[in-house]
Amino acid sequence: MHTIVSKQCLSPNVTRLDVQAPRIAQIRQPGQFVIVHHSEGAERIPLTIADADPAAGTIALVIQSVGKSTRDLVALEPGQAIADIVGPLGHPTEMIESGRALCIGGGVGTAVVHPIAQGLHKRGVKVTSIIGGRSKEWVIFEAELRRLGEVIVCTDDGSYGRKGFVTDAAKDVLAGGGIGIVYAVGPVPMMRAVVNLTKPLGVRTIVSLNPVMIDGTGMCGGCRVSVGGETRFACVDGPEFDGHGVNFDELMDRLSAYREYEQKSLACAEENCRLKQTLPS
Amino acid sequence: MPGKITTKERLQINRQKMPEQASTARAANFEEVNLGFTEQLALLEADRCLQCKDPRCMAGCPVNVNIPRFIGLVSEGKISEAAQCLLCDNALPAITGRVCPQETQCEIVCVRGNKSTPVGIGYLERYVADWARNHSDQLTATKAPATGKRVAIVGSGPAGLTAAGELVRMGHDVTVYEALHKPGGVLVYGIPEFRLPKKIVSQEVQRLQSAGVKIECNVVIGRTYTLPELRERFDAVFIANGAGLPVFMNVPGENLKGVYSANEYLTRVNLMAAYQFPNADTPVLHGKCVAVVGGGNVAMDSVRTAKRLGAASAMIVYRRTKNELPARAEEVHHAGEEGIQFEFLTAPVEVIGNDKRWVTGLKCVRMKLGEPDASGRARPVTIPGSEFVLPCDIVVVAIGTRANPLLTATCPDLKLNKWGNIVADEAGMTSLPGVFAGGDIVRGAATVILAMGDGKRTARAMDEYLKSH
Ligand SMILES: Cc1cc2nc3c(=O)[nH]c(=O)nc-3n(C[C@H](O)[C@H](O)[C@H](O)COP(=O)(O)OP(=O)(O)OC[C@H]3O[C@@H](n4cnc5c(N)ncnc54)[C@H](O)[C@@H]3O)c2cc1C
Ligand SMILES: Cc1cc2nc3c(=O)[nH]c(=O)nc-3n(C[C@H](O)[C@H](O)[C@H](O)COP(=O)(O)OP(=O)(O)OC[C@H]3O[C@@H](n4cnc5c(N)ncnc54)[C@H](O)[C@@H]3O)c2cc1C
Ligand code: SF4
Ligand code: SF4
Ligand code: FES
C-alpha cells in the first residue's frame, strides 16, 4: 500500500499527489514512469514520476482527470492509500551534457517535462522552458521550472504570458539558434506540431509517447507504437523516442480505440455516485 | 477395500467421465467447464489403477508424483493421506490436475492405455487436491530447521512458486519478487477462469505463504532492483521470469484497432477481469467475429474467451491440420463442442481495415503439408494464388512468445542462447555463480508441469549449493 501524504490542486483538472514509494523515490530518473493500480478491479494506468523526495520516500504524481481511473485516483485524500505502484519503468531520458536545451510542456505534459529539466540543469545544461495552457489557471509547474532556467508561458486566450500556442514561442526560440536538443511532452497534436517545426531545422527532438498500457514490462504489446517504420513497445523501449520518426497518426488513432468503453465506464461511475448520494448514510 | 478387488475386476471398470457444464451453457459464462469428480466417481476411477510394481506412469511425470501410492490411498478411502502424499511431490496439484497435458505426460505411459484407456490420473489428482484445498487445517506441513540462508526468486509463475515451496521446506528464507500486482504468472494472467479459477491459484499461493514463502508484488527485477543487487543481498537467486514477450506476425495492418496479442487479450480478460466490465474498469473490445491465429493452448484459450464474450463466430486460423494442433486434447475437444470454428491449412498474410482503421478482415492463403521440418512436423507450404479474405472484426495473434529481455538486458554477463533464453545446465545453474534459472525463460514457452519440474530440481541443486557456500 502506498499512502498519500499530500494532495494539491494545480489547475482546474490537474492534481498533484505525493505518495509513499521509498524505493522508487530513491532510484527513479527523469523520463521514467510508474504503473498505478488504485485497488482491486481498477485499471492499471501509467503516470510519469514528476518529482521525488528520496529522504521522505515519496514520489509526486501529477494527474489530469480525464476518465474513470484518473478521477478515482484524485478522489483519494491524504492518509488514504493506493494499492499498487510499480516502477520505475521505461528508459531514463537521453540527456545532453552541455549546451542549451529547449523543454516544451503542454498541459499536464509540463509535469513530465519538469524532471527532464531538473536532470539537464543538474548537468549544467542551459534550460529554456516553454509551457502552455488554455488560460492562466491551467498553467502548472511554472515556479518549479523557473528555478531551473528561463520560462516562457503561453496561454491560448492571452490571459497570462504570451498569447498563442507553445509552438509559436518555440519557433522564435529556435530561430535564435543555439538549441542543441528539444524535449516536447504534451497532447499528441502538440508534439506533432513541435516535430514539424524541428524536423526541417534538423534539431534532435525527444517526445514522450502515451499509448494505452497494461503491464508496463513488455509482456502484452498493447503499447506498441511505430517509430522509424519499426514497431516498438513504448513501456520498455520508450516512453521517449526520437520524435522525427514517430507515426503520430497511428498513435492518435490507437488512443481512440476504447472511447466508447471509456464513456460507458464514466457514465456508470457517475450513476453509482448519484445512487450513493441519494442513499441515507 | 484393499485387496478385495481383483485385477480382473479392475480391468472391467471403464474410465469415468468428468462431469462438465453443458456446452451451450458454458459457452456463455466464465465458470469452470469441468466440475470435478464426485467421491463415487473418484473411487471407481481409483480402482482402475493396477498398482504396478514398476509404475511407468511416474516416469512420465516431470515432478515424479507417486501416482500408484496416492491413487491407492484414494481407493482405500484414505483421502487425507492421499493428499499428504500428493503434496509431498507436487507443490500445486489443484493446478496441474487441471492444466497438465496428461495425455502426453503421465497418462500416455499408463499400462492401462495399452488395451483400453489410461487411468484418469489428472482427474484424480484434481479430486485429491481440491479436497486438500478445502481441508487445509487437516494437513500438516513438515519444515526443516532454519538454515539462515536467503534466497530470492524472480517471478511467481509455476517454476518460481514450486521452487519457493521446496526451498522453504528445506529451511531457507525465501522471497519471491513479482512484477505484476498478483502472484501466479501465466496461471493468473493467461489461463482463463473457465479452465483454472483464479480463486484456486490464490489459495495455492496462500498455502505457500503460510508455509513461510514471502511474496513481494510490484517489483520488476531489472528496474526496481537489478540482478547484481539481488546477488549482493541474497545467498542465491532463482530466475523464473517466464517467456512473456508476444510475437507478432509481421504482416501489414497489425497495428489496426482490433488486433491484439493473445497476451494482451487474455491479460485484459483474466488479470484485469475485463469480462466484468463496467464492474471492473479495464475494457476489452468485443467482436462479432473473432479470428485467433495459432493452434496451441494460448490460441484455444483466446478463441473460447472470445466466444464467451459474445462473439457470434469465433475461429481458429491454423496453418497445419487438426492432427498437428499443439493444444491439450481436452481443450480442442471442448472448443469444438462450444461451437468454435477451425480454419485449418490457412495462414494470414495481411490484416485488412476500413477507413477508420478498424479491422474488417484477415487476408489469408491456403496451405498444404509438405516435407517434415526440424521438429518432425510436416512443414506447411503456401498454395500459390489461393488468397482470400476471412471477414472478422477482432484478430488475436497467438503464435507464440519469446524471452522477455527486460531483466537479462541489465545483466550482460548472464549467458543467453540465440533466442535470448537463459542458458542453464541440468541442475538449473547459469553462467553466474549462485544464479539459477528454470521454466519458460530457459526452455522457451513450454508447460506448467515442465516449469514446476525445473523449480523442483533446481531447488534441490540450490540447497546443495547453499550448504557448500
Ligand atoms: C508513459 C506514460 C506516462 C503518463 N504520464 C501521465 C501523467 O504524468 N499524468 C497524467 O495525467 N497522465 C499521464 N499519462 C496518461 C494517463 O495514463 C491517462 O490519462 C490515463 O490512463 C487515462 O485513464 P482514465 O481511465 O482516467 O481515462 P479514460 O477514460 O481511459 O480515457 C479518457 C481519455 O484519455 C485518453 N487516454 C486513454 N488512455 C490514455 C493514455 N494511456 N494516455 C493518454 N491518454 C489516454 C483517451 O483518448 C480518452 O479519450 C501517461 C501515459 C503514459 C503512457
Ligand atoms: C494462455 C496460456 C495457456 C496455457 N495453457 C497451458 C496448459 O493448459 N497447460 C500447460 O501445461 N501449460 C500451459 N501454458 C504454458 C504455461 O503456462 C507456461 O509454460 C508456464 O506458466 C511457465 O511457467 P514459468 O514459471 O516459467 O513462467 P510464467 O508463468 O510466465 O511466470 C513468470 C512470472 O514472472 C514475472 N516476471 C517476468 N519478468 C519479471 C521481472 N523482471 N521481475 C519480476 N517478475 C517478473 C511475470 O510477471 C510472471 O508472473 C499456457 C500458457 C498460456 C500463455
Ligand atoms: S503433475 Fe501432471 S504429469 Fe504429474 S501426475 Fe499430475 S497430471 Fe500427471
Ligand atoms: S501405470 Fe497406470 S495402472 Fe500402473 S500404477 Fe500407473 S496409473 Fe496405475
Ligand atoms: S504495456 Fe504491455 S507491453 Fe507495454
The pLDDT tens digits for A214-249 are 999 999 999 999 999 999 999 999 999 999 999 999
CA distance B169 to B154: 18
Name A37's bridge partners.
A44, A84
| Average of per-residue pLDDT across B350-379 | 91
pLDDT of residue B282: 95
Q: Is A146 on the interface with B (CB under 8 A)?
A: no
| Three-class secondary structure of residue B271 per DSSP | coil
Query: Average pLDDT over chain B, rounded to whole?
Result: 93
Helix (H, G, I), strand (E, B) or coil at B204: helix
CATH superfamily assigned to domain B248-399? FAD/NAD(P)-binding domain (3.50.50.60)
- Write the residue with the smallest CA distance to atom 7 of ligand 2: B99
Question: A26-35, B132-141, B251-260, B343-352: lowest mean pLDDT where?
Answer: B132-141
A79-98 in b/e burial notation, b at 16+ Cβ within 10 A? eeebebbbbbbbeebebeee
Tell me: pLDDT of B1 over 70.
no
Q: Which residue of B has its CA nearest to A70?
A: B281
Residue B373 has pLDDT above 90, yes or no: no
Question: What's the rounded Cα separation, in Å, for the pair B439 and B401?
Answer: 13
Report chain A residues whose CB lies below 8 A from the CB of B420.
none
Question: HSE on the CB side for B96, CA within 13 Å?
Answer: 34
Handedness of CA A169, A171, A172, A177 (dihedral sign): positive
Per-position DSSP letters for B296-343, written without gaps between them: SHHHHHHHHHHHHTT-SEEEEE-SS-GGG--S-HHHHHHHHHTT-EEE
Tens of pLDDT, residue by residue over B60-77, are 999 999 999 999 999 999
Q: What is the CATH number of domain B7-138?
A: 1.10.1060.10
Contacting residues of A for B189, CB less than 8 Å apart:
219
DSSP B358: B
CB A73 within 8 A of CB A154: no
* A273, pLDDT greater than 70: no
In CATH, what number does B150-244+402-467 get? 3.50.50.60
Cell of B348: 494470414
| Average confidence (pLDDT) over B404-411 | 90
* CB contact set of A100 (below 8 Å; sequence gap of 6+): A125, A126, A127, A128, A178, A179, A180
Taking the C-alpha atoms of residue B102 and residue B100, their distance in angstroms, rounded to an integer, is 5
Chain B CB contacts of A257 under 8 Å are 257-258, 285
Contact (CB, 8 A) for A154 and A166 = yes
Residue A248 makes CB contacts below 8 A (sequence gap 6+) with A188, A189, A191, A192, A195
Strand order through the sheet with B289-293: B259-261, B394-397, B289-293, B313-317, B341-343
By C-alpha distance, which of B25, B21, B48 is closest to B35? B21
CA of B449 to the centre of ligand 2 (A): 11
d(CA B220, CA A219): 12
pLDDT > 90? residue A279: no
The C-alpha of B63 sits at a distance from chain A's nearest C-alpha, in angstroms, of 28
CA–CA dist B451, B446 (Å, integer):
7
pTM exceeds 0.90 for this model: yes
- Compute the average pLDDT of residues A150-176: 92
Q: What pLDDT is recorded for position A274?
A: 62
Contact A44/B at CB under 8 A: yes
Q: Which domains does chain A have, with CATH numbers?
A: 2-89 (2.40.30.10), 100-208 (3.40.50.80)
Domain residue ranges in chain B = 7-138, 150-244+402-467, 248-399
Give DSSP secondary structure letters for chain A: -EEEEEEEEEETTEEEEEEE-HHHHHH--TT-EEEEE-STTPPEEEEE--EEETTTTEEEEEEE--SHHHHHHHT--BTBEESEEEEEESPPPP--SSSEEEEEEETTHHHHHHHHHHHHHHHT-EEEEEEEESSGGG--SHHHHHTTEEEEEEETTSSSSEES-HHHHHHHHHHT----EEEEESSHHHHHHHHHHHHHHT-EEEEE-----SSSSSSS-TTEEEETTEEEEHHHH-SEEEGGGB-HHHHHHHHTTTHHHHHHHHHHHHHHHHHHHHS--
What 3-state DSSP class applies to B237?
Answer: strand
Mean pLDDT of chain A: 92
Question: B217 vs chain A: nearest CA distance in angstroms?
Answer: 8
Looking at residue B141, its pLDDT comes to: 74
- What pLDDT, on a 0 to 100 scale, did the predictor assign at position B137? 81
B293 neighbors B359 (Cβ within 8 angstroms): no
* Sheet order of strands, A240-242 included: A162-163, A149-155, A126-133, A100-106, A181-185, A204-208, A240-242
Q: How far apart are CA B382 and CA B368, in angstroms?
A: 7
pLDDT of residue A185: 95
Same fold, B7-138 and B150-244+402-467: no
pLDDT digits over B278-291, tens only? 999 999 999 999 99
d(CA B158, CA B98): 13
Cell of B12: 472391467
> Residue A184's pLDDT is what?
96
Burial of A275 (0-12, 13-18, 19+ CB in 10 A): exposed
Closest-CA distance of chain B to residue A229, Å:
12
Is A259 near chain B, with CB under 8 Å?
A: no
Residue from B223, B263, B402 whose CB has the most chain A CBs within 10 Å, to mutate: B223
Of B223, B248, B258, nearest to A231 by CB-CB distance is B248
Residue B295 scores a pLDDT above 80: yes
> Which residue, A82, A27, A22, is CA-closest to A56?
A22
pLDDT top residue among B394 and B375: B394
Amino acid letter for position A61? L
Do A114 and A141 touch, CB atoms closer than 8 A?
yes
Q: Residue B426's CB: how many other CB atoms inside 10 A? A: 8
Q: What is the DSSP letter of B363?
A: E
- Percentage, residues of chain A above pLDDT 70: 97
| R_g of chain B computed on alpha carbons | 23
- For residues A58-81, average pLDDT: 94
Residues of chain A neighbouring B179 (CB-CB closer than 8 A) = 86, 215, 217
Q: What pLDDT was estimated at residue B3?
A: 53
Please give the ipTM for the structure prediction.
0.93
Amino acid at B301: D
